[in-house]
Chain A
Amino acid sequence: EPEVTQTPSHQVTQMGQEVILRCVPISNHLYFYWYRQILGQKVEFLVSFYNNEISEKSEIFDDQFSVERPDGSNFTLKIRSTKLEDSAMYFCASRGGRSSYNEQFFGPGTRLTVL
Chain B
Amino acid sequence: GDSVTQMEGPVTLSEEAFLTINCTYTATGYPSLFWYVQYPGEGLQLLLKATKADDKGSNKGFEATYRKETTSFHLEKGSVQVSDSAVYFCALDSSYKLIFGSGTRLLVRP
Q: Report which A residues bind B (CB closer than 8 A).
A: 4, 6, 31, 33, 35, 41-45, 48, 55-56, 91, 93, 95, 98, 100-101, 103-109
Q: Is the CB of B42 within 8 A of A108?
A: yes
Interface residues of B (CB under 8 A from A): 31-32, 36, 41-46, 49, 51, 89, 91, 93, 95-103
Number of A-B contacts (CB under 8 A): 56
The CA of A31 and the CA of B95, in the complex, are separated in Å by 13
Contacts known (A100-B32, A101-B32); A109 close to B98, Cβ less than 8 A: no
Known contacts A100-B31, A100-B51, A103-B49; A33 and B97 CB within 8 A of each other: yes
B contact residues around A105 at 8 Å (CB)? 46
Indicate which residue in A4, A45, A98 contacts B98 across the interface (CB closer than 8 Å): A45
Complex alpha-carbon distance, A20 and B70, angstroms: 43
CB distance from B36 to the nearest CB of A (A): 8
Closest to B99 in A: A45
A50 to B46, CA, bound (A): 22
Q: Say which residue of A6, A42, A95, A109 sits within 8 Å of B100 (CB atoms).
A: A42
State whether B101 touches A45 (Cβ < 8 A): no
> Across the two chains, which residue of chain B brings its CB closest to A105?
B46
Residues of A within 8 A of B36 (CB): 106
- A109–B31 alpha-carbon span in the complex (Å): 26
Whether B98 and A35, one on each chain, are in contact in the complex, defined by CB atoms closer than 8 angstroms, is yes
Of A4, A41, A45, A100, chain B has the most CB atoms within 10 Å of the CB of A100
